[in-house]
């Protein structure tokens, strides 16, 4: 679909943070462990932070902290982009197998990630960095575990002022996001798994057609002209598209039945596209 797409942002550029264990020793699950000890302060072996890292006292974190399994569930399979205090940007995916993919650098694997206790940890080139992750109604915010410095965000440019912003309420079990949705709604990791690397064709209500692939590297390819000019990600239970020049991503809820996939606009619930053509109400 040519109108859509999104990123979700987090930490670490290919030249900085990267996935990995925050604690040494064997682990039954290399990506998530809720019994990990606290991470000791770095003694020079940690990842390099932006040179503009604030030297003032740590600000009050923005939003609600994500911890343990909730943090793991939020980050696993997530494609996101963001920025650092100096304005430099990143785009990456914390793959569900524990690897970190640099989506701004051609989709190369640049390290590993995991959740250790309540920390999101990255390891790259034998350098390790752990952060505390908060979420508000605008996006994700990352604070260095060892001193609370606000080092990255998916909200750009970063607002370095102290004080909390409006948190996102804890997620609750929900039914279909749209009344009358066809088939079963795809959510979270299931939605990501369904769409990653998927080639599909469909139509809009006016009968016009599209043919595209949501590539595993986070880009959307128009299969009619073999051009990639947009990107995609999964944010919560939404499939989001981000087109160059767009003020904000276009997000949809996705359902699936025996016939195919159906797409519903996030804000209005309008049935906007389908792989079943012609579309039926």
Q: Is 280 inside a domain boundary?
A: no
Question: Do the domain assignments include residue 216?
Answer: yes
- What dihedral angle (degrees, nearest 10) is formed by the CA atoms of 73, 74, 75, 81? 160
Q: Is the sign of the CA dihedral 181, 220, 87, 12 positive or negative?
A: positive
d(CA 219, CA 231): 4
Same domain, 232 and 151: no
pLDDT at 213: 93
The predicted structure's pLDDT at residue 176? 64
From 130, 146, 161, the end of a domain falls on: 161
Of 36 and 240, the one with more pLDDT: 240
When pLDDT is cut at 50, 70 and 90, the band that residue 164 belongs to is low
172 inside domain: no
Say if strands 78-83 and 89-94 run parallel, antiparallel, or are unpaired: antiparallel
Can you tell me the distance from the alpha carbon of 256 to that of 148, in angstroms, rounded to the nearest whole number?
43
Residue 279 lies inside a defined structural domain of this protein: no
Is the same domain home to 81 and 157? yes
Does 179 reside within a domain? Answer: no
Residue 51 lies in a domain: no
271 in Cβ contact with 196 (< 8 Å): no
Residue 201 lies in a domain: yes
Q: Considering the chain, what is the average pLDDT of its residues?
A: 77
Residues 5 and 130 in one domain: yes
Task: Work out the pLDDT band at 49, boundaries 50, 70, 90.
Answer: very low
Percent of the chain with pLDDT over 70: 74
If asked whether residues 100 and 144 sit together in one domain, one would say yes
In the chain, the percentage of residues whose pLDDT exceeds 90 is 34
Q: What are 220-239's pLDDT values in tens digits?
A: 999 999 998 788 888 878 89
Does the residue 48 lie in any domain? no
Cα–Cα distance, 118 to 121 (Å, whole number): 10
Give the per-residue pLDDT at 165.
54
Residue 84 has pLDDT above 80, yes or no: yes
**CB-based contact 6:241 (threshold 8 Å):** yes
If asked whether residues 208 and 120 sit together in one domain, one would say: no
Per-residue pLDDT band at 253 (split at 50, 70, 90): very high
Domain co-membership, 60 together with 157: yes
Same domain, yes or no, for 243 and 143?
no
**Domain end (from 95, 130, 161):** 161
Partners of 152 in beta bridges = 142
Decide if 268 contacts 40 (C-beta within 8 A): no
Q: pTM of the full predicted structure?
A: 0.49
132 and 188 housed in the same domain: no
Tens digits of residue pLDDT in 6-25: 333 333 333 333 333 333 33
Determine the average pLDDT of the residues in 33-52: 36
98-151: per-residue pLDDT in tens? Answer: 999 998 888 899 999 999 889 999 998 888 899 999 988 778 999 999 899 999
222 and 124 co-located in one domain: no
Mind listing the pLDDT tens digit for each residue in 27-39?
Answer: 333 344 444 333 3
DSSP string, 89-108: EEEEEE-TTSEEEETTTTSE
- Pair (72, 200) in one structural domain: no
pLDDT score at 30 = 39
Is the pLDDT score of 166 beyond 50?
Answer: yes
Provide the token pair at 174.
């929900």
Same domain, 212 and 84: no
- Residue pLDDT, tens place only, 61-81: 888 899 888 888 888 888 888
How many structural domains is the chain composed of?
2
Q: Which residues constitute the domain of residue 152?
A: 1-43+56-161
Q: Are residues 145 and 218 in the same domain?
A: no
- Poorest-pLDDT segment among 29-33, 89-93, 144-148, 183-187: 29-33
Q: How far apart are CA 102 and CA 13, in angstroms?
A: 7
């Amino acid at each position: 679909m040519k109108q859509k797409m999104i990123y979700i942002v987090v930490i670490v550029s290919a030249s900085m943070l990267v996935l990995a264990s925050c604690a040494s020793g064997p682990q039954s699950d290399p990506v998530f462990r809720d019994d990990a000890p606290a991470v000791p302060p770095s003694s020079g072996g940690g990842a390099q932070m932006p040179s503009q890292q604030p030297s003032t006292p740590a600000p009050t974190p923005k939003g609600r902290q994500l911890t343990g399994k909730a943090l793991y569930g939020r980050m696993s399979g997530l494609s996101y982009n963001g920025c650092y205090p100096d304005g430099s940007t990143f785009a990456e995916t914390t793959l569900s197998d524990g690897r970190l993919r640099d989506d701004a650098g051609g989709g190369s694997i640049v390290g590993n990630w995991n959740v250790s206790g309540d920390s999101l940890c990255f390891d790259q080139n034998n350098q390790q960095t752990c952060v505390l992750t908060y979420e508000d109604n605008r996006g994700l915010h990352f604070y260095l575990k060892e001193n609370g410095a606000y080092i990255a965000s998916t909200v750009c440019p970063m607002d370095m002022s102290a004080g909390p912003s409006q948190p996102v309420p804890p997620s609750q079990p929900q039914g279909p996001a749209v009344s009358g949705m066809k088939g079963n709604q795809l959510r979270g990791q299931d939605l990501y798994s369904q769409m990653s690397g998927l080639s599909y064709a469909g139509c809009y209500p006016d009968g016009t057609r599209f043919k595209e692939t949501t590539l595993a590297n986070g880009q959307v390819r128009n299969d009619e002209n073999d051009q990639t000019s947009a990107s995609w990600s999964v944010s919560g239970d939404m499939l989001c598209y981000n087109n160059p020049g767009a003020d904000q991503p276009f997000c949809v809820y996705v359902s699936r039945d025996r016939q195919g996939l159906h797409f519903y606009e996030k804000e209005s619930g309008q049935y906007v596209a389908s792989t079943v053509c012609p579309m039926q109400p």
